[in-house]
A and B are shown apart, each in its own frame.
Chain A
Amino acid sequence: MMTLIVQRVAMAIPSLIGVVVVTFLLTRMLPGDPAAYFAGPAATPQAIQEVRVKLGLDKPLIQQFGRYVVDLAHGNFGTSLTTGQPVITELRTRLPASAELTLLGLFVSIAIAVPLGIVAATRPNSLLDHTCRIVSTAGVSLPVFFTGLILIYVFYYLLGWAPAPLGRLDVFYLAPPQVTGFHLIDSLIAGDPQTFTATLKQLVLPALTLGVFSLAPIARMTRASMLTVLSSDFIRTARASGLSNWTVVITYAFRNAMLPVITTLGMVFSFLLGANVLVEKVFAWPGIGSYAVEALLASDFAPVQGFVLTMAVMYVTLNLMIDILYGLIDPRVRLEA
């Protein structure tokens, strides 16, 4: 197990280095001049040049890159121009917001897609199967921001069922004392059911938007995996032994079909992390996605670099965890490695 972890981490290092270099280059290619921004609205070209020297932007790229790497090693991700705060502080406060939303979205997606996939697998090629396929594909065929806006229009504006899309918590609630940064968990720990409910209400629409968008891959994988398992010998034996359909499908088949679904979950989770930048913009969610988008449009490089690096590290860690989980569930994988 340890060798597996070390191996994987070693393999990930070149990718992370690649990510750092590419992001640095891309952000330097962005239009927009931070020196002009800092120098203010009435700055003369000389004033702008002075600021440029002060910020170290006149040095050759290699030197700037070197300085960036040294800063990174000290945990200094730089400061954002648009918010004026150190990037690392902002990432730390905003990451739980995005993670909570993405996890809940994934949960919603699983809750709908897995049963859909199982049902479709038990009756292949029937009308039900085709309907399941159409429903899950339809969800992924709309741009995610459009789904979000439609949900807000219908459920908040027309029906008034959902709360105002003002972010994580209604203005009149104080955030629960920070333990994990996940308001749902923290409010339970603090024993505050009102904040819990308020948080949950704010989460419903954005999580639904994200969930709809990731239905298709999970439903398909579940269906495919279940189909394979359902046609295997041991299932035939179970049926022949007279076990109830429910037991056969859920207790035996599903448990064995889980593995590929879990790998897909990993892929879907990282895909969602990318998609949630748009959802965060629509729902005014104070997460790292909206942070990165605002920074990118303002040609503010430090947050963009920090965001990409954080996401890359999370992605690598996630894949590693999935591999380990895989190994725990399926001993055959462990023996192979």
Chain B
Amino acid sequence: MKRREFLKSATALTAAGCLSAPAIWSKAKAQSRQETLLIVSESGPNNLDIHGVGTNVPGYEVSWNCYDRLISHEMKTLPNGTPYYDKSKFKPELAEDMSIGDMSVTFKLKNDAVFQDGTPVTANDVKWSFDRAVTVGGFPTFQMSAGSLTKPEQFVVVDDGTFRVDFAKKDRLTIPDLAVIVPCVLNSQLVKKHATEQDPWGLEYTKLNTVGSGAFKVTNWTAASQVVFERNDNWKSGPLPKIKRVIWRMVPDAGNRRALLERGDADVSYDLPNKDFAELKSDGKLNIVSTPYSNGIQYIGMNVQHPPFDNVKVRHAVAYAIPYQKIMDAVLYGLAKPMFGAPVDTPIEVAWPQPHRFNTDLGMAKQLLGEAGYANGIQEPIQISFDLGFAGVNEPICVLMQESLAQVGIQSMINKVPGANWRTELTKKTMPLFTNVFSGWLDYPEYFFYWCYHSGKSIFNTMDYQSSAIDGFIDGARAAAANGDAAAYDMDVKGFVDLAFTDMPRIPLYQPYVNVAMQKNISGYQYWFHRRLDYRSFEKA
């Protein structure tokens, strides 16, 4: 008896709920939908603090939007109308004035900047944050060192409103390095309250809480599910953002992300397969913006210390065997800038990336293999490895390459390496043939070459390429840049690019595009060197 009554009442309640609900929620929903930016991506942050241990790339986006830095970049406009960060023009953010001396740079801080809890921002907070960045180790420390910022002694508090950075040596990259995500300013007093013996920098607290003076703050974070940001109405370092609330949802399935965008249930996504971007562009229902990666290329790497790739002719043969155009068409749908096939007599420019002179020519490939002593090809299958974390692009590239190599007599086998293991494999430097992408936040050729081609055992020199000649050019270029010697700089840059194209330890394929899909009523997208979204400039019509 009681069971039946319960069932009856529950059914009635549900029915009543269904009937009364529509009228009430649709208006509230519509209004709050208008004030919120809904972003969908495959994965989210594992830590809200870029100084944290093992923070992943989505965590960088949180840091960018919730914390301020001393300086930032001005925007210039590309021919297609997209705002693009100007790598040589800086604009004040927390610092309202910057004066560069011979071996130091001094910043005057804004006197009304406050952290999200109301505490004023002082030079002590800046020093504490910078000390933290160079001391915690891992990626943040590495990035700081890219601009020769390595010791806490370099950071000096002149007074509450003035902060100075002393140079360890002259380095053209020091100032740009102060505008990247890592040197962000944290509320040192608040974090110190949560620091412990084992955790002197308060990393456990900042992992879960944003404590900056930036334009947004995280009000809710459910790992692997969503991040909710609310605007900081007291933001002083720039014009108040138009968007009041940002919800970033993780949706693992790419097809679902596309469906959400097409039905208008999501506002922004940058995480779709290239094919979807190409189709959405031609459909015209959404705004698709594609911008080339600054200082980044997708390449084929070969281990040059072991046969067969220790022979430069074999490397050239592979460079002739790659089906470049097939890759551009079938994998990228044209959404990338080719880095191959430049006419043979093109002069080397002082720029990076730039295209090399190889193109698909199976006849040449076979001939070179013959000259190298592999007239019968290579029967023992070579492993082609790729990062499973980016399988959407990597897998078809490797499949097409495998097919093409087979046509010139090189047998191969595809090796999928799980994303978590990819870095370890790269460090080991044992993979004979692989595809990878590298890009640097600081858009200077010598920066790229220093990390990727210099012999100093960098983990980004994935080919284990040792050449004292190229080291000479790279070191020369860096010194010339620091001293402002333009002629020497140009000569050295042309030198290392030319050598890279002659020796071909790695074969550039293309410069990838950053693609973003947005509803038509969204505007204000800006391209930044970190390629993540800057919520401060978005607007919803």
Contacts and interface: CB of A to CB of B under 8 A. Distances in A.
Interface of A: 31-33, 36-45, 47-48, 80-85, 90, 93, 149, 152-153, 156-157, 160, 164-167, 171-172, 188, 193-194, 196-197, 200, 281-282, 284, 286, 290-291, 294, 297-300
6 contacts: A36-B421, A40-B142, A164-B266, A165-B253, A196-B17, A299-B420
B306 interface: no
Contact of A284 (B14, B25, B137, B251): B251
B259 A156 contact: yes
Contact of B32 (A81, A172, A200): A172
A26 to B, nearest CB: 15
B247 A36 contact: no
A190 to B, nearest CB: 12
A160 B226 CA distance: 24
Interface in B213-246: 222-226
Contacts of B21: 193-194, 197
Given A48-B427, A83-B223, A196-B14, A40 B252 contact: no
Contacts of A48: 424, 427
Interface residues of B, number: 59
A298 B420 contact: yes
Contact of B424 (A32, A156, A157, A172): A32
B2 interface: no
B139 interface: yes
B284 to A, nearest CB: 19
B53 A193 contact: no
A326 B460 CA distance: 63
B16 A193 contact: yes
A167 B427 contact: no
Interface string B17-38: 1101100110011001100101
B375 to A, nearest CB: 37
B18 A197 contact: yes
Given A32-B418, A84-B207, A282-B253, A172 B46 contact: no
Contact of B457 (A44, A149, A152, A300): A44
B24 A43 contact: no
A316 to B, nearest CB: 28
A282 B252 CA distance: 7
Given A84-B46, A196-B17, A32 B421 contact: yes
Contacts of B427: 36, 43, 45, 48
Given A166-B251, A171-B226, A291-B224, A193 B17 contact: yes
Nearest to B255: A149
Nearest to B247: A171
A164 B263 contact: yes
A194 B420 contact: no
A286 B460 CA distance: 36
Given A172-B32, A299-B420, A286 B260 contact: no
Interface in B6-65: 10, 13-14, 16-18, 20-21, 24-25, 28-29, 32-33, 36, 38, 40, 46-47, 52-54, 56
B227 to A, nearest CB: 12
Interface string B137-149: 1110010000000
A182 to B, nearest CB: 14
B437 interface: no
Nearest to A194: B21
Contacts of B142: 40-42
B367 interface: no
A167 B38 CA distance: 14
Contacts of B522: none
B249 interface: yes
B146 to A, nearest CB: 9
A59 B25 CA distance: 57
B217 to A, nearest CB: 18
Contacts of B46: 81-84
B249 A81 contact: no
B225 A167 contact: yes
A306 B255 CA distance: 30
A149 B256 CA distance: 9
B262 to A, nearest CB: 8
Contacts of A32: 418, 420-421, 424
A284 B253 CA distance: 7
A286 B255 CA distance: 18
B265 interface: yes
Given A166-B265, A197-B18, A297 B138 contact: no
Most chain A CB within a 10 A radius of its CB, from B16, B17, B142: B17
Contacts of A44: 457, 459
B224 A286 contact: yes
A38 B52 CA distance: 10
Nearest to A38: B54
Contacts of A149: 253, 255
A39 B138 contact: yes
Contacts of B52: 84
Query: Which 5 pairs across A and B sit closest by C-beta, in order of nearness?
Result: A193-B17, A40-B138, A83-B223, A42-B142, A32-B421
Contacts of A291: 224
B194 interface: no
A38 B13 contact: no
A160 B263 contact: yes
A45 B429 CA distance: 11
Contacts of B53: 38, 40
A85 B460 CA distance: 30
A90 B263 contact: no
B410 to A, nearest CB: 26
Best-buried of A156, A164, A281 by chain B (most CB within 10 Å): A164
B419 interface: yes
A80 B420 CA distance: 13
A36 B20 CA distance: 55
Contact of A297 (B56, B249, B419): B419
Interface string B197-213: 00000000001000000
B520 interface: no
A189 to B, nearest CB: 12
A84 B260 contact: no
Nearest to A293: B252
B224 A43 contact: no
